[in-house]
Amino acid sequence: MRMRRAWIIGLLALTAALCGCTKQQEEPEDTLLYEDEIEDSDDYIVVGFAQVGSESDWRLANTQSFRDTFREDNGYYLLFEDGQQKQENQIKAIRNFILQEVDYIILDPIVETGWDAVLQEAKAAGIPVILSDRLVVVEDESLYTCWVGSDFEEEGRIAGRWLRDYLEDQGRGSDEIRIVTLQGTLGSSAQIGRTEGFDEILAAQGNWNMLERMSGDFTLTKGREVMEYFLDTYEDIDVVVCENDNMAFGAIEAIQDAGKTCGPDGDMILISFDAAKSAFEAMQRGELNMDVECNPLLGPMVEEIIQKLERGEDVDRVQYVEEKCFDAFMDLEGILESRTY
Ligand code: GZL
């Protein structure tokens, strides 16, 4: 791809010289945006990253991981587009990357469906697509090279198993347990997997009653609104499952505004996903019972994949990141010292 790009730039320069126009006077229409930014784009691997948005602490850490990895002094030029949680923005970004003749496209798809056409365009342009974090469902599996992310269903099962064991320890193994769930963005891999994984454990607990699930779109603001609705609608909620930390922070605000409490000594058990630093602080304040980690530091794994592809080596189609779960009874101070997000 880089050779082809050099040829195009050379042809444009020759055309400009022949018609006596200087670069400044008649910049060719489809100048590659970055050709003025970097000395010689052929010395760099140009990567286009279509990110979901900036909706959560997890997302900010994930973006920083890519910015820290795909630096110019590391041999990369990163074109970064924040999709602002809209699929149409991500599709536009991918089309722009194709126009810019990037070497690789990294996509973190906000939802799993609706990508066939634009990924077909990337394939036709000969640009490999690497999925990071969330997955796509497409007719033609060859539309993306590989996916790096979390086993979301296992994350959901970890949460369900932890709750089952915790209630047993509390002597509530046979009590009726009334649960509400704040889901992530509907149709996103994280939401689908976490909901299905938790459901697998729920199905085996006849005394658990899932009152309602509603999406808080992974944001604090919507998480608070959904929790306010749950508190107005249901008496005696025993467990609140939040499919990410920022919705959990919104739920805590709503619970406390209603004069109730959550956490190990609270009126209700609060469970979350992501395990960002701010969630550890909520566990230290006694507001959150448990958090299932979802590692956002995917930049280095994606870079390793690109290096392999550059060497013409095969890469695994699916690559899971290492993850754990943490609860309020652990040495959170000690754990926090070693965490980077
Ligand atoms: C999970 C990621 C989710 C996080 C949320 O891999 O897609 O999106 O759990 C983020 O915090 O918004």
Q: What Cα–Cα distance (Å) separates residue 164 from each residue in 168, 177, 180?
A: 6, 10, 15
Where are any strands of DSSP class E within the chain?
A: 45-51, 76-82, 104-107, 129-133, 146-149, 177-183, 208-215, 239-242, 269-274, 290-293, 318-320, 325-327
Instruction: Assess whether the C-beta atom of 195 lies below 6 angstroms from ligand 1.
Output: no
Of 8-22, 172-186, 205-219, least confident by mean pLDDT is 8-22
CA–CA–CA angle 249, 298, 314 (5° rounding): 150
**Cβ-based neighbour number of residue 261 at 10 Å:** 15
Which atom of ligand 1 lies at the shortest distance from residue 150's CA?
Answer: 6
Q: pTM higher than 0.75 for the full model?
A: yes
pLDDT tens digits for 120-155? Answer: 999 999 999 999 999 999 999 999 999 999 999 999
Relative to the CA of 55, which ligand 1 atom is closest? 12
Share of the chain above pLDDT 70, in %: 88
Closest ligand 1 atom to 273 CA: 9
Query: Tell me, what's the pLDDT at 123?
Result: 98
Closest residue to atom 9 of ligand 1, CA basis: 244
Residue 127 sits in the same domain as residue 184: no
What is the average pLDDT across 223-228?
A: 98
Q: How many domains does the chain have?
A: 2
**Ligand 1 atom with minimal separation from the 58 CA:** 11
Q: Which atom of ligand 1 is nearest to the CA of 274?
A: 9
Does residue 226 form part of some domain?
yes
Residue 317 pLDDT exceeds 60: yes
In which band, very low, low, confident or very high, does the pLDDT at 341 lie, cut at 50, 70 and 90?
Answer: confident
User: Same domain for 192 and 333?
Assistant: yes
The C-alpha atoms of residue 42 and residue 303 are separated, in whole angstroms, by: 18
Alpha carbon distance 7, 124 (integer Å): 19
Edge to edge, what strands does the sheet with 104-107 contain? 76-82, 45-51, 104-107, 129-133, 146-149, 318-320
* Ligand 1 and 273: CB distance under 6 A: yes
Residue 19 lies in a domain: yes
Is 230 part of a structural domain of the chain? Answer: yes
146-149 and 129-133: which strand pairing?
parallel
Residue 26 has pLDDT above 70, yes or no: no
Tell me whether residue 319 is in a domain.
no
% of the chain beyond a pLDDT of 90:
81
pLDDT at residue 340, rounded to an integer: 80
Distance, in Å, from the CA atom of 50 to the CA atom of 134, rounded to the nearest integer, reads 12
Question: Is the per-residue pLDDT at 218 higher than 70?
Answer: yes
Domain match, 199 and 138 both: no
Residue of the CA atom closest to atom 1 of ligand 1: 190
Same domain, 11 and 140: yes
Is 315 inside a domain boundary?
A: no
> What confidence score (pLDDT) does residue 23 get?
36
- Give the angle subtended at the CA of 292 by the CAs of 154 and 54, to the nearest 5°: 105
The verdict on residue 322 lying in a domain is no
Nearest-atom number in ligand 1 for the CA of 246 is 11
At 322, the pLDDT band (50, 70, 90 cuts) reads confident
Regarding the beta carbon of 244 and ligand 1, being less than 6 Å apart is answered: yes
Residue 317 lies in a domain: no
Looking at the fold, whether 218 and 288 belong to one and the same domain comes out as yes
Least confident of 7-21, 36-50, 141-155, 156-170: 7-21
- How much is the pLDDT for 124? 98
67 alpha carbon to ligand 1 midpoint, in Å?
A: 18
Which has the closest alpha carbon to 158: 79, 267, 272? Answer: 272
Q: Give the domain extent around 107.
A: 5-150+296-310
Say if residue 166 is in the same domain as residue 290.
Answer: yes
For ligand 1, whether the C-beta of 190 sits within 6 Å is yes
CATH of the domain at 168: 3.40.50.2300
Candidates 110, 248, 115; CA nearest to 185 is: 110
User: For a substitution probing ligand 1, which of 54, 132, 185, 218 has the most ligand atoms within 8 Å of its CB?
Assistant: 218
**Same domain, yes or no, for 192 and 252?**
yes
Which of 294, 295, 321 for a ligand 1 pocket mutation test, highest count of atoms within 8 Å of Cβ? 294
My answer on whether 22 and 103 are in the same domain is yes
Strand 269-274 versus strand 76-82 pairing type: unpaired
| pLDDT digit string, tens, across residues 167-181 | 999 999 999 999 999
One domain for residues 108 and 24: yes
Confidence at residue 36, expressed as pLDDT on a 0 to 100 scale: 65
Tell me, using a 6 A CB cutoff, whether residue 294 lines ligand 1: yes
Q: How far is the CA of 301 from the centre of ligand 1 (A)?
A: 17
Q: Is residue 321 part of a domain?
A: no
**Residue 203: which residues within 8 A CB-CB, separation 6 or more?**
none
Answer yes or no: do 195 and 332 share one domain: yes
Say if residue 13's pLDDT is above 50.
Answer: no
Q: Tens digit of pLDDT for each residue in 234-275?
A: 999 999 999 999 999 999 999 999 999 999 999 999 999 999
**Cβ pair 152, 321 in contact under 8 A:** no
* Domain identity same for 145 and 221: no
Residue 59 in contact with ligand 1 by CB distance below 6 A:
yes
pLDDT at 33: 64
pLDDT band at 30 (very low <50, low <70, confident <90, very high): very low
Count how many Cα atoms sit within 13 Å of the Cα of residue 43 in the half-sphere of its side chain. Answer: 10
Q: State in Å: Cα 38 to ligand 1 middle.
A: 33
- Given pLDDT bands bounded at 50, 70 and 90, which one contains residue 16? very low
Residue with tokens 């497409």: 138
57-110 pLDDT, tens per residue? 999 999 999 999 999 999 999 999 999 999 999 999 999 999 999 999 999 999
User: Are 26 and 170 members of one domain?
Assistant: no
Ligand 1 center to 244 CA (angstroms)? 7
Question: Ligand 1 mean position to 59 CA, how many Å?
Answer: 6
Could you tell me the two tokens for 246?
């920022």
Note the pLDDT of residue 109: 98
**Atom 3 in ligand 1: residue holding the nearest Cα:** 190
**Strand positions, DSSP E, 26-183:** 45-51, 76-82, 104-107, 129-133, 146-149, 177-183
112-121, 200-209, 274-283, 332-341: range with lowest mean pLDDT: 332-341
18 against 51, higher pLDDT: 51
| pLDDT at residue 32 in the model | 64
Q: What angle do CA 69, 70, 75 make, to 5 degrees?
A: 115
Ligand 1 centroid–CA 246 distance in Å is 10
